[in-house]
Amino acid sequence: MKQRTILVVDDSAVMRQLISEILETGGYQVLSARDGDSALAQVLKENVDLVLTDWTMIPMDGGELTRQLRQLPSDTPIPILVLSTVNAESTKAEARKAGANGWLCKPIDPETLLAVVGSLMSPPES
């Protein structure tokens, strides 16, 4: 069975490392990017099964990254999960409008993160 790949996008190196360790424990291969620009470049050259992004980053934030990912031609759009300290309903609505599939607030519970990630992934190809 093919190992699933998740791209973790966060401007905090500590947060990228923490999330990566949780996902690797769950059996996922993890790539990382420090901002939306480098994340978009990775998606264009790597096979990514899910993007997990922070919302508040510069120069390209999670909202703009989500919008740009949704404009890419694809038979099966990549699921996008936002992980953020922001908990405002208006921001969550903005994320849904941009095309995000889900939102989790930091700090994160490892079991919850793995459960949500698993629910957003399509079944793996054999």
Count Cβ atoms below 10 Å from residue 75 Cβ, excluding itself: 4
Along the 126 residues of the chain, how does pLDDT read in single tens digits? Answer: 678 999 999 999 999 999 999 999 999 999 999 999 999 999 999 999 999 999 999 889 999 999 999 999 887 889 999 999 989 999 999 999 999 999 999 999 999 999 999 999 865 554
* Contacts for 24 with CB less than 8 Å, ≥ 6 apart: 30
Domain ranges (residues) in the chain: 5-86+101-119
Structural tokens at position 83: 């992980």
pTM: 0.93
CATH class of this structure's domain 5-86+101-119: alpha beta
